[in-house]
Amino acid sequence: MSNAPLPDIRIPDDLKPGDGRFGSGPSKVRPAQVDAVSAAATTLLGTSHRQAPVKKLVGRLRSGLSTLFGLPDGYEVALGNGGTTAFWDAATFCLIDRKSQHLSFGEFSSKFAAAAAAAPHLDEPEVIESAPGTHPSAVAREGVDVYALTHNETSTGVAMEVRRPEGADGLVAVDATSGAGGLRVDPTQFDAYYFAPQKSFASDGGLWLALLSPAGAERIERLAASDRWIPAFLDLGIALDNSRKDQTYNTPALATIVLMVEQLEWMLGNGGLEWAASRCDRSAEALYGWAEASEYATPFVAKPDERSHVVGTIDLADGIDALTVSAVLRANGIVDTDSYRKLGRNQLRIAMFPAIEPDDVAALTRCIDHIVGEIHR
Ligand SMILES: Cc1ncc(COP(=O)(O)O)c(C=O)c1O
């Protein structure tokens, strides 16, 4: 954005979305979720996480996730503190036996690869990269015991299908931080599908959740029992043990869990993952359909089937400054549409998680047209 003063553009109220939060994380929280926190004000909040009421809540979280994802018999839900970033470090101790293969196609997928590369007890990982705006494919390799995929690369707006690499016998671990709950997934295709609550589950950050296949849990238990040194906070064996008792190893943020359970049960009450994913499909249709028809906006991701339905990235033509457009939107109460900073593109990034109304995404596109029309009058 230049140093020129921000154009004073007022977006007419009848063009504006009902809710102006389009951030890719933390994402919009629905007011009903905050009501649930209020309702817990004198009951759950401020009470022990080792006692029945909070353990029941954690139980609702674990069984709700199991239902939402249609987990097959033997799969289980684990959780712990620290968010996805902590889970990556935990995975270098407790999921990767010797060698991992990483698909690296943006900021987040590259971070797990870097964590594995830095772990002195592991072999050098294999990293398969592709340019931002695309994704590479995993390739079965002798000696690879974890294939690290990313369901949705939040920094670029690329989504990939979760599928076991043909002929591979290693575990499949999927970073689903921004994909889980908004994109469809077949649980038989993964051994660990891990995420955090601040995206589709419209809660706060700070927790990690992992859906584990029997093989995933078995790997954790074997490595946890081995003579490998594992910091207790990153010990997935300890986390799994606690999760099975509907608790966490150390104290969790209870309000975060209340917010998440409310969102999860909202999804389940409306029809589950298929319903949530269909909402995201409708938002994506509105966003990409608009960009494709626009003279100045273009979907960044060239292949339609790789365009994420939860985080959309839209390039703007030269001469239309995306930072100015985002700043004018913000001045009008429509926030967090900026691109991922390290990508360095003239781009808007717009979240379309289930909490976000598809009609609000359509309204946002009309607001962008209004701003661009005013600037270039
Ligand atoms: C795909 C992906 N992975 C990992 C992370 C990091 O998650 P956390 O902030 O919970 O550590 C993010 C956060 O935006 C993400 O989008």
Q: Which residues pair with 150 in a beta bridge?
A: 175
Average pLDDT of span 57-75? 98
> What is d(CA 77, CA 219) in angstroms, rounded to the nearest whole number?
15
Alpha-carbon gap, residue 120 to 134, rounded angstroms: 30
81 in contact with ligand 1, CB cutoff 6 A: no
Instruction: Reply yes or no on whether the pLDDT at 55 is more than 90.
Output: yes
pLDDT for residue 375:
94
Beta-strand pair 297-299/207-212: unpaired
**Whole-Å CA distances, 44 to 48, 55, 202, 247, 335:** 8, 10, 20, 14, 32
How far away, in angstroms, is 132 Cα from ligand 1 center?
17
Give the pLDDT score at 3. 72
Determine the Cα–Cα distance for residues 141 and 132; give it in Å rounded to an integer: 24
Give the ligand 1 atom nearest the CA of 179: 1
With a threshold of 0.85, does the pTM exceed it? yes
pLDDT over threshold 90, residue 232 = yes
- Give CA–CA dist 301/305, Å, rounded: 9
**313: closest CA among 277, 342, 283, 287?**
287
Does the C-beta of 84 come closer than 6 Å to ligand 1? yes
* Cα 338 to ligand 1 centre (Å): 17
* pLDDT band at residue 2 under the 50/70/90 scheme: low
- Residue 366 is predicted with a pLDDT of 98
CA distance 281 to 308: 9
What is the 86 CA–ligand 1 centroid distance (Å)? Answer: 10
pLDDT above 90 coverage of the chain, percent: 98
- For residue 83 and ligand 1, the question of a CB distance below 6 A is answered with yes
Give me the residues paired with residue 146 across strands: 100, 171
- Cα 351 to Cα 175: distance, rounded to the nearest angstrom: 17
Residue nearest to atom 7 of ligand 1 (CA): 84
pLDDT > 70? residue 1: no
* DSSP type of residue 342: G
As a whole number of Å, the end-to-end CA separation of the chain is: 19
Q: Please report the atom of ligand 1 found closest to the CA of residue 205.
A: 10
Q: Is the CB of residue 290 below 6 angstroms from any atom belonging to ligand 1?
A: no
Mean pLDDT of 313-319: 97
